[in-house]
Structure 1
Amino acid sequence: MGDLHVAQIKRRLKDTTYPHIDVSDLSKHGADFVEQARLTRALAAFVLTKIAGLSAEDAAVCVTDGPEDNGVDAIACVDSEPPLLYLIQSKWTDAGNGGGATLDEMMKFQKGLADLVTMNWNRFNGKVAARVAELDNALLNTDLRIEVIFVTMGSPQVAPAVANHMGDYIATLNDPTEVALFTYLNQGAVYKLLVDDTLSTQIDLTVELSDWGRMEGPPDAVYGHVGGAEVAGWLHDHGPHLFDRNVRLVLSSSEVNASVLDTIEESPERFWYFNNGVTALCESIDKAPAGGTERRQGTFGLKGVSIVNGAQTVGTLARALRAGKQQELDAVRVMVRFISLESAPEDFGKRVTRATNTQNVIGGRDFVGLDPEQTRLRDDFSVDSLTYAIRSGEERPDPEKGCEFTEAAVALACARSSALATQAKREVSRLWDDTSKAPYKALFNASTTYVRVWRSVQILRAVEAELDRLRGGLGNRERGYAVHGNRLVAHVVFAKLDSARFEDPAADWGLILAQVPELTANALHTMTEKGEAEYGGYTASLFKNATKTDHLAKMTIEALA
C-alpha cells in the first residue's frame, strides 16, 4: 500500500500547505528539483498544522528549508502553556517503499538542534536570521518546552542506532528536568494524521465503577472510583481526542504533574485522597444489568466521552504506565464522574468545562499563611512601617514599602546555597511545598529575622536590576546566562558580601547595597566564561542541574576572590 499512501498524502499536501510554500530561493534549479523541495517543505508545514495546530498559511511561513538550513526545515514558536518550540526535519520521497532516516541525516538534524538551543545563529540561513529576535525570546523563556520531530515518507521505523543518536542528545537537554521530546514520524504515522481527519473522534468507553453513585437528572450523572491503570489506558487507546472538549491538553511538564507522579510512585494507595479526580462529559450513560442496584461494582457504557477536567491527572497516569509503573498503578484508585448531556440544556457542557477549570486551587503556597513564623515576620515588618504580604491574593506592596513571601523565599534561597538557588529556578514552589520540613524550615525558622529577610530581598532586587540593565548589551550566550542563571548569579553575589553585616544595625547598609551592581556584573561575566569552558550547551538545562550549578558557583566565587 506504500505507493497508494504516498499518492494520498501528496494529494492532501496539494490541498493544504503546498500552495502556500515559498520556493523563490530555488529559481536557479530545475523543475523536478523544485517540485521535490516544495513537497519536502509542504510536508514539514503539514506536520505543524496537525501537531502544533497552525493554519496552512502560518505553517508555511515557519519553513526554513533551503541552503545552509543546518538540518532544520521548519521552526514554529507557539504561545501556549507552557510555551512550545517545534523543530522539524522532513524528507519527501515518491517511492512508496523508501528507507527511513539515515545516521548522517539524524546527525545533521541533531547538530542543527544543538546550534539552535545555543543560539549559534551564524550557522543558519537567512530564513532563520530573520527570526532571531523571536527565537531569542523563546529560548530565554524558562518555561519553554521543545518538540523535535523528524518526518519522512520512508516506510520503515527508525533504526535503533539512528534513534539513539538523537535520543542521547535529548537526554542531555532533559537533565535534570524534561525540556525536550523527540518524535519520529514515518510514512505510516503521516498517513494516520490524514486518517484522523476523516474518522469520527467519538470515544466510547466501558467502565467498571467501584462504590458508584448516581445523580438523578436531568442532566444525569454517575460517579465512583476506577483503577489507575484503566484510566491510563483511556489515553493510551484514544490519544488526545480524549480531551477534545478540554481547555488544554496534557502539559509536558508542570509542578502539579510532578506532584501527581510523586504520589503514584511513593504512596499509590493514597492517590484517591490526594487527587481531585477526573470529570468527563458524555452523550449518554447506560448501565449493564449485571450487579443490579448493588453499588459496590457497576459496569457502565458511556458514549461520546470527553474529559473536561483532570487532563493532567490522566496524562500523568499514562506517563507512569509508559514508565512501567504497573504495580503502582494497580494500587491507585481515581475518583471519576461522568455527566451525560443527553437531556442537558444546549450550553450545559460548556458551562461545566468552564466551571471545573476556573475554581480556585488550594496549594502549598496557601498554607504558608498559617505558619506562626510568617505571622511573626509580618508583625516585625510592621513595627518598622513595612508590609510583608504572606497570604495568596494579598496585594503586593510598593517596593520601597515592603515585599511578599515568594520574593522573600527566593532571596533567602539564593543567599543560603547554590542548591536552593537552583531549586528556586527549577521549581520554585518546592521551596514551600511542605512547611513542616526542609527546605522551607531551613529558610523560615525561629532564627530568621525580618531584617535578614528585608535586606536579602533588597540585594536580590539590586542583582535583578543590574542584570536587566546589562542584558541589552550582551551577546546571545551571555544573555542566556543573565536570564537562566539569574538565581545563581544572585547566590554568588550573596557569597561575596559580608552576610554577618546583614543584621548589624550599625552597618552602613547603603554602602553594602552599592557594591551589588559591580559584583553582579563581575559574577555574570566570570560565570559565563567558566560555564562556557566547562559545559556550554543549552543554558536553561544547565541552570536547573544542581550538581553543575554547585560546581559553577564554586568556580565563579573562587575566581572572584
Structure 2
Amino acid sequence: MNDGTTTDGPQIRFIRDALNREFSGLIDLSDYGTRPEAHREQAFLSRALAARTARLLADVDSAEAADCVIDGFNDRGIDAIAFSRETPEIWLVQAKWSDRGRARLATADILKLIDGLNRLTERRYDEFNQRFERLSEQVEKVLFSPYCKIHLVVAVAGDGHLAPDVASLLDNAMSSYNHVAKVVDARVLGIADFHSAILSDTSPPPIDLSLTFTGGFHLASMPHVSYTGMASAVEPANWHERFGPRLYEHNIRRYLGPTSVNHAISTTLVDDPQSFGYLNNGITVLCDSVRASPLISTRRPALLTLHNARVVNGAQTIASIAHVHQNAPDAVALASVLVRVICVSDADEGLATRITAAGHAQNRVDSRDFIALDSQQALIRADFLVSLGKDYVYRRGALAPVDDAGCTVVEAATALACADPDPDLVARLRGDSSSLWDPGPDGGYARLFEPRPTAREIWQAVQLVRSVNESLHAMVSCLDGRAAAISDRGSLLIAHLVFRAFDTQGTEEPGADWEARLDSVPELTRRLLSYLVSVVHAEFGRHTLLNSVFANPQRCRHLAAVVLGFLRTGQAPVPDAGYSASRRLRRPNSVRLLVDHARIADGTQVVYRPGRAEESALGSWLNADPRRFLATWVNDPKRPLVWAADGKQYSPSGLVLLIWKRAEWQGAPPSVAGARHWLIPGEGTLDQLAHELFEVSLASEGPESRETDDRDER
C-alpha cells in the first residue's frame, strides 16, 4: 500500500493532513490492532484515500464514505465500493498510497481489480470479506438494473499515469463488458485531482446576487458581457446584510471601519442622498454568468441574477451604505449607486486580477493590500485550514485570529523574515515595515513567499517568534534602561538569532514534538539578549541610537555573527556595567505620536493583550466572544480604536477600562497605560511602535536617554 520511503513534497503532505483531519476515527483499523504504529498509519492513509475518492465521485458524506471501504483480507482488489443515491451507478475503487507521492499501479494490482469486478458481476459475493457483506444488497440492486453503470477507479498518491501494459489490461476489461452497451468505464485519479478537490472544499460557496437597474443601463457584449447602470442603494445594503464578509472574498481588503474616506461616504449619503450616485465611484461586481429579464429596452428597469458574484471594488462603499441603512433607512432609500457588472467566465485568468487592482482609488491602497490578489496566499489559507485547522488572514480589515486560532499575513511575514538565514530582512523590516511587501525579485515578499512555504512552516515560525516576544516581555522588568531598549528595538534580530540557534530539524514531520522544543526558547532568548547587550555596548558604545543599529543590514549581520560565535564557543562576552542618564526627555502621548506620523494604516487589526492578572480575571469573559479581543485602528488622535464587540470608538486606555468594567473585574486598578495592552500582531504594542518613532524623531538630539510618558488620550 505504500513505498515505505520518507515524506516528501508539499502537495502530498497537504493531502495527508486533509485525510487525517477528515477521516480520523472513521476508518476501521480493527484488523491492524497489534501491528506496529507505522503499519497502522499507512493502512489508514490508503483506506482514507479510497474513502476520499468515494466522497469525490459519489454523493456521500465523510462517514458514509468511510463505510464504503472494504479494504482488507479478501477484498478481491477492491478497496471501496460507492453508490449513487439517484441512479444505478457503482464505483469500484482501488487506492494506492505513497508518502513520497510516487504511487503507481502494477500489473498484479489491475488484475486483482478486474478479478474483483468479475466476481461481483457473477454474484460470487460469498468470496468477499465481512466488510463487503453490509454493501451486498446495494451491489445486487445496482448490478441487476437494466441501466447499470460500473466505474472502475484507480486512486493513487502519484502522478496518475498508467504504464502501457496496465492501461492495456484495463482497456481489454472494459471492451469485454461493453460489446453490447457501454456499461463499464475507467478513471485514474492522482495527486493533482485530490489536491484540487480538497482546495475546493475550503473555498466559500458561490454567491448569487439579484440586482435591479432602476433607471436604465448600458449593455456591452464585446469583448466581455458587461452591464453598467444605477441601482437603489438599498440593494447593496441588503447584500451586505445577507452575505457579510463573504461578499468581499475576492476584494483586496475587507471593510476598514470608519476611515476618513468611509466617514465621508456615510456623511454624503445622509446629507445629500439624491446626489450620492454622482459623488461615489460605485461598485464593480464580477460574475460567471448573468440572467437578465426583461431586456426590452436599455431605458427600462432590468432585473439581473448574477451567478458566483464577487465584489472586487466597492467594499468600503457597500459596508458604509449598510451601516447608514441601519440608522437612516429613509436616506438610503432615496440614494442610487453606480454598479458595473462584468461576466468573466470566458476571460483569461488574469483579467479579474487586473480589474481588481485597477479599481482601488477611494481609500489609499498600501503595497501589502495587493498581496490579496496573489493566488499563493489563498493556497496558504487553504493549507492552514486543512493541515492545521487554523485560520490565516491575508486581507486587511478582516478579523485577526486570536491566539492559537491562527495568524495574519503580517505576523507570518514577520516570522518568516526572522527565520531567514540573512538578518538583512529583519533590519529592513525594522527600518520600514512596507519592505515586507515589495514584489520585486530582491523584495521581501518574493524572498518570504516564493517558493510558497507550507502552513506548518509558517505556523511554527510564528509560534517561535511569539515565544521569543513573550520571553522578552517577561524579562523587561529586570532590565536596566539601555538593556530594555535593546530588548525592544532588537527584538526582531533576537528572534532571528533564536532561529539560527534553534534546532528545527525534522519539525515538519508528523509526530515531531514541537511544543517540547519550544520550552527551550525562554532560556535561549535570555542568553542571546545578554550577549547582544554586551556586544552592542562593545561595538557601538552606549550612546549610539539603536534604530541606526538594528535598521542597518550590515550592522545586523555583524552583530549576528559575533553573538552566534559567543553562543557556539560558550565564551561569554564581558558583561555590561549598566547605563546612566544625564538628561531625560519626555516622550509625547503614544496615540498622538502614532497618528501624527501616520504610523498605522486605517483598518489595521489591533489585539488586546491582557497581562497575567487580567488573563486570570477576564479570560472566561474574553473567550466567550473573540470579538472582545479585537479592535480596528483609525487615525483619530483621541479615539483610535473601533471595538469589534460594539463598533464604537475608544481610546486605548478607555477601552481597556471598559473591558475590565464589562467583565466585572472587582480587583481592577483605577487606571491603566492602555497603549501597552494593544498589540499589532507581528509588529508590537502601540507603546512599542510609539517608542520606535520617538527614537527616530530624536535622532538629532544626542545620546541622552529618554523618559516615556505612557498616558493615553482619555
TM-score by length of 2: 0.29
Higher relative contact order (CA 8 A, sep 6+): 1
Radius of gyration: which is bigger?
2
